[in-house]
Amino acid sequence: MAVKRLLILDDDLMVGTTIRFIAEGVGFDCQATDSPQEFFALLEDWCPTHIALDLVMPQMDGVEVMLELSRRSCTAHIIISSGVGSRVLDAARRSAAEHDLNIIGILSKPFKPTTLQTLLNSNDAVRMQSVVPLHTEEHEQPVCEADLLRALEQRELFLMYQPKIDCSTRSPVGFEALVRWQHPERGLVMPSEFIPLAERSGLIDPLTMQVVDTALSWFATHFAAEELHLSVNISARNLRDLGFADHVATLCAELGLSPTKLVCELTETSTMEDPVASLDLLTRLRLKGFMLSIDDFGTGFSSMLQLVRLPFSEIKIDKSFVMTAMRSGESRAVIKSIVELGHSLGLRSSAEGVEDDETLGFLDEIGCQLAQGYRIARPMMADDALAWYRDYVGDPGT
């Protein structure tokens, strides 16, 4: 078994000794110090696999230590601890994550020995994934407009579908269509790498139409008779096209689908770029019977008043809160208040980024209606999404 080494930096020697005692009990080699200088010397010479870091110290505070760890590209698993309030600990955790440090947990003093043991024994491989850089091909040139135009003409874009379920009954309620690009040379390209380009270049209109066409045809073929809905992502730029609502309405009519089955997801920030134009076009979409969801809610800084005036039917809580719900009281408080806001405005609330059962249970408890996330299913190819659905509802299909 690989050696696990824990380096402890804490100005309270009693606490340092306690952490050491607990860690040794679960198979760690430990070194503890109260001096930042000695800490950094040990970091170089002893190469710890784990670090326990006190946030508040007289000589150098924990944030400074974290910045220095980041500067040294430290990959050790870090536990931050302190007697300061949980909001400050949460903020410190976020700041560390922003600096690409591998924080495996926060320890609020006084802590129970079992809490520390669980953290030290936690599944390293899974947690390490969160710090693997997303852009492995960072030396490549970004995709260009001509490339994207070809992709649209050659139909290189395709869709994956991610299910949404009802939090209390756990039954499927619909799918969200998520676009991908199968590039002939680059391989799979994710939306974050080409949607901004599509928005800048004006190619977002044909792109969205292709997405809506493909998604609605798939949905109408397999789910026309089911009580399900289909969500698609709409860019605020699409709202400038006055014909957009008409085109989608015609398409639904041709496919025999009720417009109420289509949910258009728009991000909070995008609808605020031009609130008046957004109001006109969103109202048109709603008058035609489509549902509107406000995506990534909680990440923008829009005026609540403007938001509530827009005719949304669903509020989608951003995954940054949902994914951290079980380890952050602050995230739970934000989620709860968004759900309450949704209830009082008559909006359905939906949470994305649900990665475990505990979060699903919490969402149900606070009255959030819908959930989407890796715990339920990852985005899937069309055929796999269909098979998933049949398997989930126990329908052998045809």
Binding region for ligand C2E (CB under 6 A): 162, 178-179, 190-192, 195, 208, 211, 233, 235, 265, 295-296, 319, 323, 352-355, 372-374, 379
For ligand C2E, which is the closer residue by CB, 55 or 104?
Answer: 104
For Ca ion, which is the closer residue by CB, 265 or 314?
Answer: 265
Output the six-digit token pair for 64.
Answer: 């400074």
- C-alpha to C-alpha distances, 202 to 144, 238, 318, 329, nearest whole angstrom: 13, 9, 27, 41
Give 32's strand partners: 8
DSSP 42: H
Residue 54 binds which entry of Ca ion, ligand C2E, none, CB below 5-8 Å type-dependent: none
Helix (H) or strand (E) holding 385: helix 382-393
Site for Ca ion in 222-241 (CB under 5 A): 233
Asked if residue 257 lies in contact with residue 227, where contact means CB atoms within 8 angstroms, the answer is no
Specify the stretch interacting with Ca ion by CB under 5 A; choose among 18-26, 257-265, 278-286, 299-307.
Answer: 257-265
Give the helix, strand, coil percentages of the chain, each rounded to 5.
45, 20, 30
CA angle at 224 for the pair 222 and 230, rounded to the nearest 5°: 85
Q: Does 147 bind Ca ion (CB under 5 A)?
A: no
For ligand C2E, which is the closer residue by CB, 10 or 205?
Answer: 205
For Ca ion, which is the closer residue by CB, 83 or 300?
Answer: 300
For Ca ion, which is the closer residue by CB, 54 or 268?
Answer: 268
Residue 314 binds which entry of ligand C2E, Ca ion, none, CB below 5-8 Å type-dependent: none
For Ca ion, which is the closer residue by CB, 10 or 265?
Answer: 265
Site for Ca ion in 354-373 (CB under 5 A): none
Residue 326 C-beta: closest distance to ligand C2E, Å:
13
Asked if residue 239 lies in contact with residue 282, where contact means CB atoms within 8 angstroms, the answer is yes
Residue 139 C-beta: closest distance to Ca ion, Å:
29
Residue 370 C-beta: closest distance to ligand C2E, Å:
12
What is the rounded distance in angstroms from the CA atom of residue 174 to the CA atom of residue 263? 10
DSSP 49: S
Residue 102 binds which entry of ligand C2E, Ca ion, none, CB below 5-8 Å type-dependent: none
Residue 353 binds which entry of Ca ion, ligand C2E, none, CB below 5-8 Å type-dependent: ligand C2E
Residue 348 C-beta: closest distance to ligand C2E, Å:
16
- Cis status of the peptide bond prior to 379, with omega within 30 of 0: no
What is the rounded distance in angstroms from the CA atom of residue 223 to the CA atom of residue 218? 8
Question: Cβ-closest residue to ligand C2E?
Answer: 373
Q: What angle separates helix 13-25 from helix 113-121, to the nearest 10 degrees?
A: 60
- Out of 34, 205, 296, 314, which residue is the one contacting Ca ion (CB under 5 A)? 296
Residue 191 binds which entry of ligand C2E, Ca ion, none, CB below 5-8 Å type-dependent: ligand C2E
Residue 372 C-beta: closest distance to ligand C2E, Å:
6
Q: Does 295 bind Ca ion (CB under 5 A)?
A: yes
The 3-state DSSP class for residue 182 equals strand
- C-alpha to C-alpha distances, 380 to 7, 19, 339, 393, nearest whole angstrom: 42, 44, 28, 17
Output the six-digit token pair for 237.
Answer: 């730029």
**Cβ neighbours of residue 91 under 8 Å, at least 6 residues apart?**
none
- Out of 54, 265, 268, 314, which residue is the one contacting Ca ion (CB under 5 A)? 265
Helix (H) or strand (E) holding 7: strand 4-9
Q: Does 314 bind Ca ion (CB under 5 A)?
A: no
Residue 2 C-beta: closest distance to Ca ion, Å:
38
Residue 22 C-beta: closest distance to ligand C2E, Å:
31
Residue 62 binds which entry of Ca ion, ligand C2E, none, CB below 5-8 Å type-dependent: none
- φ, ψ of residue 81 in degrees (nearest 5): -135, 155
| Maximum distance among all Cα pairs of the chain, rounded to whole angstroms | 74
Helix ranges (DSSP H) in 258-303: 268-272, 275-287
Residue 82 binds which entry of Ca ion, ligand C2E, none, CB below 5-8 Å type-dependent: none
The contact set with Ca ion (CB under 5 A) reads 233, 265, 295-296
